[in-house]
Amino acid sequence: AGNHCNQPAENRALWKKGSPLLTLLATQSHAFQTRRQKQIPPGYQCMFGGKPYEHGETWMDGDCRMYTCLDGYYIYENICNTDCSADNGETYMLEEVWYNGCEVCTCLESGTLCAEDINC
């Protein structure tokens, strides 16, 4: 546990293949039924850009980021970023995990998938 905000890239090896978080992210990229382990009622809204979104609702931010609301937190897939390069320009391998501020991201075959880090 602890605060994972802005965790340096060299620590990303802690989130190896098979990590529960990685498995969770990979599962949720295709099946949104799995809820994050957060004690909130089903159907809890997400706030994004000052606007509320319902559980299961999807929206775009720009041309590339497709967001989905999952019981009060969001995940997004960067549908343009198929080579899994991070905002800092570093490129990641399939199934690697990295932090982007208070988001945790992983590289899937379909591209980059990120989620809010509830421990942040």
Q: Which of 34, 29, 21, 98 is nearest to 58 (CA)?
A: 29
DSSP state of 89: S
Give the tens place of pLDDT for each residue, 44-54.
788 888 899 98
DSSP codes of every residue in 43-83: TPPEEETTEEE-TT-EEEETTTEEEEEETTEEEEEETT--S
Question: Which residues are bridge partners to 108 per DSSP?
Answer: 111
Q: How high is the mean pLDDT of the chain?
A: 68
Contact 113, 77 (CB under 8 A): yes
Check residue 79 and give its pLDDT: 73
Give the tens place of pLDDT for each residue, 5-42.
344 343 343 344 445 555 566 555 543 333 444 444 55
Q: What is the Cα–Cα distance from 72 to 74, expressed in whole angstroms?
A: 7
Q: Between these two residues, 2 and 44, which has the higher pLDDT value?
A: 44
- Pairing of β 97-100 and β 73-78: unpaired
10: left (phi over 0), alpha (psi -120 to 50) or beta: alpha
